[in-house]
Amino acid sequence: MSIYSGFGLAGPPRGVPLLVGLRVLFGGVLSQMGWFFFGFGMIFVWVFTLSSDLTGWYVFRGALEKAEGRITASRKTRMSVNDTPVWEYSYQFTAADGRSYEGKSYKTGGGERTGRAVQVEYRNGRPEASRIEGMRRGTVGLIGVFPVLFPAVGLAMVAGSARKGLKGLRLLREGHSAKGRLVGKEATNTKINEQVVYRMTFEFEAYDGRTYEAEARTHVPGVLEDEAEEPLLYDPADPSCAVMLDDLPGSPRIDEHGQIRCAAAPLAFASVLIPAVSILGHVTYAVMRFGGR
């Protein structure tokens, strides 16, 4: 038996408790997975992407000036590429303008000694941006850009979930209620936790007497099949904009007075744990890393 039996929801505008809002915005599987991808992926962005050489394709293109330089110091960094340590080399050189410049270049595998003469290359008129020929200006090359894909995918998942959550919250506050009858169920090519996601279509009658459809996508279709008619909310200005109540994260409860209540407060607090850790953790690290600059 659904918790919405009778569906005695009070008329709009309705108050939406904070815990319900948190669960609807952050409690969905897509949202939780997205925040995890973002939070975990950003670790590799800090380690690799910010240490990568992103200048090679635009600073060192075309004709380059060359000058003889000398390695003044070398050290093994904490970075490794395929288990081979990356070395940092400090160097000095005199450019065509007669001035002396310093720089740092990186090489996987090392092998260069302090005091060795090297060829330094730089773009014409920009000797302050230089590198030892055959080396790079970052601890890793352009491959360090690839970790950006992980937090980017995570943010895309979060954005998709947030759109659905904000729509749900708006309709919880202002939407008209109705009951929909399942008229279509189609398996998609998407899976969540090895479970197929289904596209489920419901037909309902709005206040204007016309029939509309509401769509839900879920990997647990049973929650939308336990009644002959399932409760939903729709926008009276545009009844095609609708949401199934049992498809909202946390499935908000309706009490005997027709008010919206949170089904499980502990789960509502738990739903913000991963987003909070992701945001606070990375903001704290950013402040520690760049705050003193």
Give per-residue pLDDT as tens, 38-69: 999 999 999 888 878 877 667 787 778 899 99
Domain's final residue, options 124, 140, 156: 140
Residue 174 maps to a domain:
yes
135 & 89 share domain:
yes
Task: Say if CB 130 and CB 101 are below 8 A apart.
Answer: yes
Asked if the structure places residue 221 within a domain, the reply is yes
Q: Nearest-CA neighbor of 140 among 47, 207, 241?
A: 47
C-beta atoms surrounding 183 within 10 Å:
11
> 121 with 164, same domain?
no
Q: 181 or 6, which is more confident?
A: 181
The four Cα atoms 53, 55, 61, 63 give a dihedral, to 10 degrees, of: -100
| Domain contains 1 | no
Q: What CATH number is given to the structural domain containing 90? A: 2.40.50
Nearest to 93 by CA among 53, 74, 65: 65
Is 129 in the same domain as 162?
no
- Residue 293, pLDDT score: 57
178 and 220 both lie in a single domain: yes
pTM for the predicted model, two decimal places: 0.76
- Asked, for residue 108, whether it belongs to a domain, the answer is yes
Judged by DSSP in three states, 5 sits in coil
Write out pLDDT tens, residues 109-166.
877 889 999 999 998 888 888 999 989 988 887 777 889 999 999 999 999 999 999 9
Q: Model confidence over 205-262: pLDDT tens digits? A: 998 889 999 999 999 888 888 888 899 999 999 999 999 988 888 778 887 777 888 7
Domain count, the chain: 2
Domain containing residue 88: 53-140
CB 213 within 8 A of CB 202: yes
Domain assignment of residue 47, yes or no? no
Domain co-membership, 154 together with 113: no
